[in-house]
Every structure is written in C-alpha cells, then in structure tokens.
A and B are shown apart, each in its own frame.
Chain A
Amino acid sequence: MCEMADLLTFGALLERHEKEIFAYALRLVGDRDDADDVYQETFLAAFRAWPPPRRGQERAWLYRIATNKVIDRARRRKHLVRMSDLRLAAPERDGVSLADLAAAIKVLPEGQRAAFVLRKVEGLAYAEVAQALECSEDAARQRVAEAMKKVREAMR
C-alpha cells in the first residue's frame, strides 16, 4: 500500500488549486486569455517537474511557478520587465474603494505588490508567500507590512 502522500496525483493537485491559481493569474495579468495561458503553463510545468519538491507545500510551489510564468511572459513581451510593472486587476471583493485599492496596489514597488497580493488577496500564510517569492519569511512579512503601510497612506 502506498503512503497517502504517494497518492497525490495531477488531478488531485489540479482540483485542489486550479481555481485560486487561475484567479491569481487573472489578478496579476488582468486579461482572461493571458490568465488562461498562465494557468495552463503553471500546471503543465508542475506536471513536468513532478513530484512536488516538498510534500504538503504544493500550494506555495504552484504560486511560485505561476509568479515566475507571469514574469517570464512580461519579459518575453519586453514592454513589461519587472514585478512592479505587472498589471493588476482589482481584487474580487466588494467595497466602495476597490478601484482606489487597485490603484494603490498598482504603484507598489517591486516585490511588495506580489507579497501583498499573495498574503492579502490570495490569503497565503507567510511561509507560503516566502516560498512563492523565494525569500525568507521575515522578508515576506516586511514586504507585506511595507505594502500595507503604503496602501493605507494612499487610501487616506
């Protein structure tokens, strides 16, 4: 009998995380067709690289792949080269200041925007944000804190 961890299949990974990865891609690239591509490329890359590097941390692994795919696409298109330049759709939450919030997030510097979206919009734990952005947990916390401060200031 296999261990339960050995029973993780492509389908299980897909069914557990596809919705949030698609939403994440959509928020970062702001276009449905591009989000569709990022979603496909993310899961295909995961399947090709199987097995996931750390058991129980597949979610952060997928976010890291998706983030890298978005950056790769931006570089290929040349007009967008850094994380801070990525377009960002408004978070899908109700509120009178969604547009303001989106505008405030859009001008965040490199690293802070992705950290903010992963933590505050996608709801990842700091450990997962750190893995997705390939930085320490402390650095992830700091980026989110700085981003929060700037967003609050922008929305006053």
Chain B
Amino acid sequence: MNVQLADAREHLLARARREGLETVGYRVVDSPLGPLWIAVGPKGVLAIHYGGEPSAAELARIVRTYGPGLLPDARRVDPVARELDQYFGGTRRRFDIAVDLTPLTEFQRRILSATARVAFGEVSTYAKVATQAGSERASRAAGQALGANPIPIVVPCHRILASDGTLGGYAGGLDAKRRLLGLERREVPAGGWPKRS
C-alpha cells in the first residue's frame, strides 16, 4: 500500500471509530507459528486464527455478534500482538489482555474459563477441564469445545491433553501444540508424552 493510501486509510479508520462504525478491528501478525489473524472487539480479543484470514465460520460468528463493522485496524490489535511477542520471546507467562467469549455458548465459555486457569508450564486433561466446568462426563464435548477455541494461545487449550497423557488434538496442528508446550515446559517428546502407567 502506498503512503498516500495508507494515510487516507488511517484517517478513515479514525472517523469510523469516532462514529462507532468500526465494531471490530483486525490485523494479521507474524509469529513463530506462522501468520495469526487477530480480531479485537469492544470487550477484548475475539479471535486468534491460525493463518492469514479467518474461516467462514469464524467470521460468521463475529458478524452475528458485532455486525459487519470489521475493519483492518493495526492500532486496535497492537496490545495483543505485543503480548504475543513477549510470550513467544519468553518474557511473558500470563496474558493481561481481556478476552471476549460473548459469541460462544454457555458450555464453551465454562470450558474455556476452566482452561484459562491452567497456568503457564502446567498441563491438564479434557476430563479434568470438563469436571472443573461442572460437566464431569463431558470430556469429549470439552475436547470439541477446545477444538473450536477461537482464542488459542491466550486461552491456552494447548495445555490440555488426553487422559492417557498424549497430545490429543489442536486446531493449529499438533506441531504447533508441541512447540507451545515446548516453549513453556522445554521437555516435550516428538510424539507427545507417553501414556501414564
């Protein structure tokens, strides 16, 4: 984008923000795990999507909640990008940015809230998270909710493993899950952890 157009866009975004036309700002940031599409709404970060653009389902979820006012707004995403940089750089163990789970179901919110309580460097299981969320028999549903976690890394679903100690699944791919756990624990074997005896 040339300088004139970049300036014009900045002016446009400032006016759109002032008029309340921009409900959600988004931006693609680079990370050690590849590009991340990040969206920030009025209550906090709404989405961190692996890849340069959101899935249709992700976009639909945001538009249903906040309407079509999504605009490319680096300034609004900068605080999230900064904390992610610090996390990947090893200088941040806990995220301070607000997260917005509004567009999710009550069950998803409970599962993700329980997941958010698993601290840096620790791990838990789908079954434990389901129990902490008040649905002890719903470990499979918990796995599905975590698979659809719209705010990975910040809501650390990579810290949740299968009950047998293996990695389970991850929306960003198991290699990304291994790398995140490796960043936090520095001890992950290539195939995940062995089954517990």
Question: Contact residues of A with B, CB < 8 Å?
Answer: 1-2, 4, 6-12, 14-15, 18-19, 22, 32, 35-36, 39-40, 43-44, 47-48, 50-51
Contacts and interface: CB of A to CB of B under 8 A. Distances in A.
B68 interface: yes
A113 B60 CA distance: 41
Interface stretch (B15-23, B92-100, B134-142, B147-155): B15-23
Contacts of B70: 9-12
A14 B9 CA distance: 9
B118 interface: no
Interface in B8-32: 8-9, 11-12, 15-16, 19, 21-22, 26
Contacts of B26: 11
Interface in B48-79: 56-57, 59-60, 63-64, 68-72
Contact of A9 (B1, B12, B59): B59
Given A8-B68, A40-B15, 12 more contacts: A2-B56, A7-B59, A9-B70, A10-B70, A18-B5, A22-B5, A36-B11, A40-B11, A44-B12, A44-B16, A47-B21, A51-B68
Nearest to A8: B68
Contact of A10 (B4, B8, B59, B69): B69
Number of chain B interface residues as a range: 20 to 34
Given A2-B63, A7-B60, A40-B12, A48 B21 contact: yes
Interface of B: 1, 4-5, 7-9, 11-12, 15-16, 19, 21-22, 26, 56-57, 59-60, 63-64, 68-72
Question: Interface of chain A, helix or strand or loop or mixed?
Answer: helix
A22 B4 CA distance: 9
A36 B72 contact: no
A36 B6 CA distance: 10
Contacts, number: 74
A43 B109 CA distance: 36
Contact of B22 (A7, A10, A15, A39): A10
B5 A19 contact: yes
A69 B71 CA distance: 22
Given A2-B64, A7-B56, A47 B8 contact: no
Nearest to A38: B8
B79 to A, nearest CB: 19
Contacts of B22: 10
A117 to B, nearest CB: 19
B149 to A, nearest CB: 19
Contacts of A44: 12, 15-16, 19, 21
Contacts of A12: 70
Choose among B5, B8, B19, B57 the residue with the greatest number of A CB atoms under 10 Å from its CB. B8
The 4 closest A-B CB pairs, nearest first, are A9-B70, A2-B60, A36-B8, A11-B70
